Chain A
Amino acid sequence: MLAKRIIPCLDVRDGQVVKGVQFRQHQVVGDILQLAQRYANEGADELVFYDITASTEQRVVDKSWVSRIAEYLDIPFTVAGGIRSLQQARELLAMGADKISINSPALQQPQLIDKLVSEFGQQCVVIGIDSFYDNDSQRYQVYQFTGDESRAQATRWQAAQWLHEVVDRGAGEVVLNCMNQDGVRNGYDIAQLRALRPHCPVPLIASGGAGTIAHFIEVFQQANVDGALAASVFHKQLIAIDPLKQALAAANINVRPTCYSPQ
């Protein structure tokens, strides 16, 4: 039976892992390789490395660490951040990234999604969507350039429309980041994830808001997502992966056990 995935996300800035609160006030929390290995050993099902500054500063992610991660890691990992061309994607994949995740550049040139899919296959093209619930319009609005507070801006897209668009263009997986919940640890945006799940025929990953083990149970049971992504609760060791997976299993959610018993 296919397991629900637990996905630690390491937000990277200038080669170090940082984590902010609601996309602001980023602070350094640790060395990339160290954290990656810790998560793999603890039973993470895959990892996401997200260069939060790359898109806005017109540069691709610093590459050397991608090769180093690929040498050591034996679980899948995704690299995100500022990938805006086939060539940049090719380099990252050649260095050992399993998937690349595109966010703002896809909004600026949606045909980039089609090109990446036809060149590298659907399986390695992930689309990240930053969605913000606007109280005035009572709509989920898609944002771009969220890595830089001064440049973050609403797009013309509503989350459901943009989801349809990226799926039509061949996206292999969608990470839906609910910005209202990001970094505040009040729980995933169940209402939005539930509403969008039927419109997403590819794997859907919940992002933003995990604070307790109960939040993970809730998002799998109530929104039927394929994976749950989180950053700060793992980096700050508020939740460890093994007890999380044991709690999920106890709630009848199928997960890959953290440890294999030797023969």
Chain B
Amino acid sequence: MNERALPVVIINTECANLASVANAVKRLGYPALVSDDAGHIERAERVILPGVGSAAAAMRSLQQKQLVHVIQQLQQPLLGICLGMQLLTDYSSEGDVRCLGVIPGQTERLQVAQQQEQTLPLPHMGWNTLQQCHPAQTALRDNDYYYFVHSYAVAVNDYTLASCHYGQTFAAVIGHNNFYGTQFHPERSGAAGARLLQQFLENGQC
């Protein structure tokens, strides 16, 4: 068995957008391995945790694959995407489930009821802009558009690296130690998304 480090491992969460994430990594010139093998994940230089679907189902899948502890112990940079980001927080109200808890935070349903009895459509689907990007995160720029698809979101806190607004302000990018998460889909966000992925793959941060 090859014990060399693996450049990029995408954790196989059995969800729908694995191919999109793998394609985006390959477009940037990195080989991408989709795997749910603990050994592969531990040997990866960069780990990506993709996710679509529900938080409860995704946590159940990680538990069945015995990957919860593996992910929590990782020292190398990890990027959670969309639901994958929400799983990095302590808790999600979607299914009332405890998550990985590697970045402090709470995931709640987006509050979209507006004044004058107007309610914004959910899911929040489409291209939206980042606000209050942390100056140290050089790939993130205020007013750049990224592609979002979600109905739940992480509340803004000290670990928020950029926020976004839809009915309410929520965390668009979070980070703590080696763990990062984006609520949007960088793999589907055109040039801006490619720049963020490139930064993560090269430098291990956003």
Contacts and interface: CB of A to CB of B under 8 A. Distances in A.
A226 B127 contact: no
B157 interface: no
B124 A76 contact: no
A109 B148 CA distance: 30
A247 interface: no
A256 B16 contact: no
Nearest to B191: A260
Contact of A123 (B20, B127, B149, B193): B149
A226 B127 CA distance: 11
B191 A123 contact: no
B129 A202 contact: no
A122 B149 CA distance: 10
Contacts of A98: 16-17, 20, 149, 188
The secondary-structure label for the interface of chain B is mixed
B60 to A, nearest CB: 14
Contact of A96 (B20, B124, B193): B20
B189 A74 contact: yes
A201 B166 CA distance: 15
A45 B127 contact: yes
B123 A70 contact: no
Given A121-B53, A124-B16, A202-B121, A74 B188 contact: yes
A93 B188 CA distance: 14
Given A75-B190, A94-B18, A98-B20, A256 B27 contact: no
Interface residues on A, range: 35 or more
A74 to B, nearest CB: 5
Contact of A93 (B16, B145, B166, B189): B16
Interface string B1-24: 000000000000001111110011
Interface stretch (A1-9, A133-141, A231-239): A1-9
Interface in B113-145: 119, 121-129, 144-145
A1 to B, nearest CB: 6
* Interface-central residue, A2, A202, A203, A257, by most chain B CB under 10 Å: A2
Chain A interface, DSSP helix/strand/loop, else mixed: loop
B125 A1 contact: no
B190 A40 contact: yes
Nearest to A120: B16
B194 interface: yes
Interface string A91-115: 0011110100000000000000000
B123 A203 contact: yes
Contacts of B119: 201
Interface in A147-199: 172-173
Contacts of B194: 74
A215 B130 CA distance: 29
Interface string B158-198: 00000001100000000000000000010111111110000
Interface in B29-86: 52-54
Interface string B77-98: 0000000000000000000000
Interface in A36-64: 40, 45
A201 B165 CA distance: 18
Interface in A202-232: 202-204, 226-227
Contacts of B147: 75-76
A200 interface: yes
Given A74-B188, A121-B52, A2 B124 contact: yes
B17 A3 contact: no
Residue among B15, B26, B27, B127 with the highest chain A CB neighbour number at 10 A? B127
Nearest to A200: B121
Interface of A: 1-5, 40, 45, 67, 70-71, 74-76, 93-96, 98, 120-124, 172-173, 200-204, 226-227, 256-257, 260
5 contacts: A2-B124, A67-B19, A98-B188, A123-B52, A203-B126
Given A75-B189, A124-B16, A227-B126, 20 more contacts: A1-B128, A2-B126, A2-B127, A5-B126, A40-B190, A71-B26, A74-B187, A74-B190, A76-B147, A94-B19, A120-B52, A121-B53, A121-B54, A122-B123, A123-B151, A173-B123, A201-B122, A256-B145, A257-B145, A260-B190
Interface of B: 15-20, 23-24, 26-27, 52-54, 119, 121-129, 144-145, 147-151, 165-166, 185, 187-194
